[in-house]
Structure 1
């Protein structure tokens, strides 16, 4: 280790940093299998709970401080950034995680260097294409906000994936709520004190992403592993062959989940777009919670073996995920109307008509993500592309047919049907290489009851909606009890042995 005899505090800082990294990674390195999955899920779950709780508690502030037009404008910029990021980074973040997590020591330098070159090249190209945004009327006034949003979010994403690939789930879990709280604090400052409206909302996200990225840069110091000479044509070809097919898939996924905002804006108004965007925040809680589990489990899925071992692993996880998803969707359907009343300002109360169908869309989105991870673990990206293309095609067609007549309710229905089609497609196709029960019969009964519950809640028949939601969980009651017992055992084990972790 390098010595600084005249600066002992620097030596101490290096030692503290190394100790911090060691303890941060122990959760990913010392535990494997179910224990490691449970530990990572607990860490990320606690982190996500803090982040989402802060966002939800501030929804009354957002809906009171921002008009539906401002909320809609900021949401359109964010959705445009979500579309552009995979193209700008060439999907460098997920590709880095996939190749770095299972790479040999001598390959890690090449993987990191190649991913950095991919992200830097795409970011520079995006800067050259920025003038084209002047021809997009909705984003013309926010094109520079969009540029810095994409840059900061891309840098944060790549560094976060690098952190996950090295097993630093503890740091990831701590950093996530801190970034969210920083973003929320800055947004309150810029919106209330600065009076910046939609631009203040975006600026808070940009600065918090930059702050988190600077922290990760100094913590991970990826420049020590980066080398231009390590960028090989062979590694670049392998990573591009994995990442590039995922870009159209990400674009198709955007068409399913976010393109409806632009249809509502075109056929109706920016105000209705803002109300619909606010409504989507409630089912986003469901997607986020299940996404935490899938994100934690993804690391285990990449480490599992081939053949029967992989099928058994996926079967065990799906047997837990499906009943939890159904129970969560039923609970959120029941709570959707009270949540809209409590969280949203009066101008946004019409969102209660859209939330129930968006909750079911979130259910099928999460289950589709589970089978998407199955493709990722098997390095089969083409089916992801075609299933996403199917869903986006269904969504676009239904957007054209339903939104002009039904408005935002039509958008919610189109999103639900699109995600359902992707789920059915992936569930059937993955059976060719992962053999386990998909519980289609039980799922069909639960789905029918959940659909009836969503329709009842949307029309204001809350009692009927609650009854139907309660009935929808009965087909998976036994599986749900088994999952609950497993979680209780894991929790007791963790409390008993927390000092080891």
Structure 2
């Protein structure tokens, strides 16, 4: 199978398993706006945002190393060794977290302490076994697990919020329950126990995995600083109500981030397989250009759609969020491009670059957050995030040249950039009735300039998703 077809196939699998959940969560936003008050929503969002700070320390990034050490491996003994030792690291980390968390929870006596613990443990157990399923090429099982997550999480959200009148703690319960369900499904459906053999635990393999995973710990912490630090500054200066409004506004670019993560999942897997081949550079440059154009067009299309969607569906309590969404969209665009380039660090196992580049970006986020938020409030958070995302992309482009040069013809993306500028301005200047104008311009542009590419990609995706559905 050619690298291009393999890329389309794996992307289709990940979209089949993940896109429905991302899309459904997007359409649940009116439910959140109607039933959850801004203080409750902001508080729970801060709780969820805190987990990526502590998770890398206690999981020792075994959720990342397990996939990297078994992806592309054909020897079943090596696969078993990789999974067994990664699971050993993971279990040790969760045990250490439990021992430390219990006395802290009893001392602090936080009302969500038990829910937070269960959410943390169940979420990362689910992530670990999802990574195992990816690594052993159980793509259909991975896709079905994504569909199960969607159904369970959405159903519980509606039941707990609408019928039981629960506040944002319902988000913790539904997410934890969904993670538990997919863990059980993946373990039994993929028969993961066949890959676990305690006799294969050895210091050499554990040290190898830790050498890969440990540099990712500060990298993830820096990512946390990029995404969550400013929320705490906003809470301090402007209160939990404003953090709730920002959390709601951030759900829209989070949809883009989620979709991008699906594409990058597939891309990383294929880049690992292509990394040592002579055509790796060409493979990366080709897909990076397509990804860049896709990101710009996606944001350009979402801006007018978001304006109409917010005007018609969102309650007045969250209406202020609409003003911040375009800036957050642009920030997510730069962040996505930086993540795409960061896949080279994963493929080459040079994860130290992932840490150093993210550290620079996090420093920019902290500095500009402290400077801008006291005076500008939520706008300050948005601007700090945008600046840090631009810095991250810039430093990654400069450092990745040491591993693999990235070739990009900027003239090819200029038309897409112009379209984005038009829709960005139109978002603020036009009412909902005139939002159709930039949207029609974008559609016409795609049909004229990228007609052949879109037909090819959509045809391949339709065929692959059809094959997946027929076998699941």
Whether the TM-score (by the shorter chain) exceeds 0.5 is: yes
Specify the alignment match of 1:115 in structure 2: 86
User: Structure 2: how far apart are the matches of 1:462 and 1:499?
Assistant: 37
2:71 to 80, 87, 101: 101
Deviations 1:248-283, CA, capped at 9 Å, x for gaps: 111111111222221211110111111111111111
User: Structure 2: how far apart are the matches of 1:361 and 1:150?
Assistant: 27
Contact 2:297 2:416 (C-alpha < 8 Å) held by counterparts: no
Runs of 4 or more consecutive aligned structure 1 residues displaced over 6 Å after TM superposition: 459-479, 495-501
Q: In the superposition, relative to structure 1, how do residues 468 and 191 fare at CA in structure 2: closer, same or farther (>3 Å)?
A: closer
Q: In the superposition, relative to structure 1, how do residues 119 and 285 fare at CA in structure 2: closer, same or farther (>3 Å)?
A: same
2:211 to 234, 241, 251: 241
Question: Which structure 2 residues correspond to residues 290-305 of structure 1 after superposition, within 5 A?
Answer: 290-305=260-275
TM-score (norm 2): 0.90
Query: Is 1:124 the equivalent of 2:95?
Result: yes
Contact 2:82 2:205 (C-alpha < 8 Å) held by counterparts: yes
User: Structure 2: how far apart are the matches of 1:177 and 1:492?
Assistant: 18
Q: Compute the RMSD of aligned alpha carbons.
A: 3.1
Higher relative contact order (CA 8 A, sep 6+): 2
Q: In the superposition, relative to structure 1, how do residues 415 and 445 fare at CA in structure 2: closer, same or farther (>3 Å)?
A: farther
Specify the alignment match of 1:57 in structure 2: 27
Structure 1 residue runs without a partner (length 5+): 1-30
Query: Is 1:219 the equivalent of 2:189?
Result: yes
How far 1:288 sits from its partner (Å)?
Answer: 1.8
1:329 to 294, 299, 303: 299
Q: In the superposition, relative to structure 1, how do residues 487 and 388 fare at CA in structure 2: closer, same or farther (>3 Å)?
A: same
Specify the alignment match of 2:42 in structure 1: 72
Q: In the superposition, relative to structure 1, how do residues 424 and 163 fare at CA in structure 2: closer, same or farther (>3 Å)?
A: same
Q: In the superposition, relative to structure 1, how do residues 165 and 479 fare at CA in structure 2: closer, same or farther (>3 Å)?
A: farther
Specify the alignment match of 2:346 in structure 1: 376
Contact 2:293 2:416 (C-alpha < 8 Å) held by counterparts: no
Deviations 1:429-486, CA, capped at 9 Å, x for gaps: 2233323423356668866874685466357788999888999999999974563243
1:413 to 363, 383, 392: 383
Structure 2 residue runs without a partner (length 5+): none
Q: In the superposition, relative to structure 1, how do residues 136 and 339 fare at CA in structure 2: closer, same or farther (>3 Å)?
A: farther
Question: Which structure 2 residues correspond to residues 59-458 of structure 1 after superposition, within 5 A?
Answer: 59-103=29-73, 104-131=75-102, 140-306=110-276, 308-440=278-410, 450=420, 454=424, 457-458=427-428
How far 1:56 sits from its partner (Å)?
Answer: 2.1
Deviations 1:16-51, CA, capped at 9 Å, x for gaps: xxxxxxxxxxxxxxx562222212222322333321
- 3-state DSSP of counterpart to 1:259: helix
Q: Which piece of structure 1 moves more, 361-370 or 290-299?
A: 290-299
Contact 1:371 1:426 (C-alpha < 8 Å) held by counterparts: yes
2:11 to 38, 41, 45: 41
How far 1:161 sits from its partner (Å)?
Answer: 0.2
Q: In the superposition, relative to structure 1, how do residues 77 and 491 fare at CA in structure 2: closer, same or farther (>3 Å)?
A: closer
Deviations 1:359-401, CA, capped at 9 Å, x for gaps: 0111111111111111111111111111100110000111101
TM-score (norm 1): 0.85
Q: What is the total number of aligned residue pairs between the two structures?
A: 470
User: Structure 1: how far apart are the matches of 2:466 and 2:32?
Assistant: 42
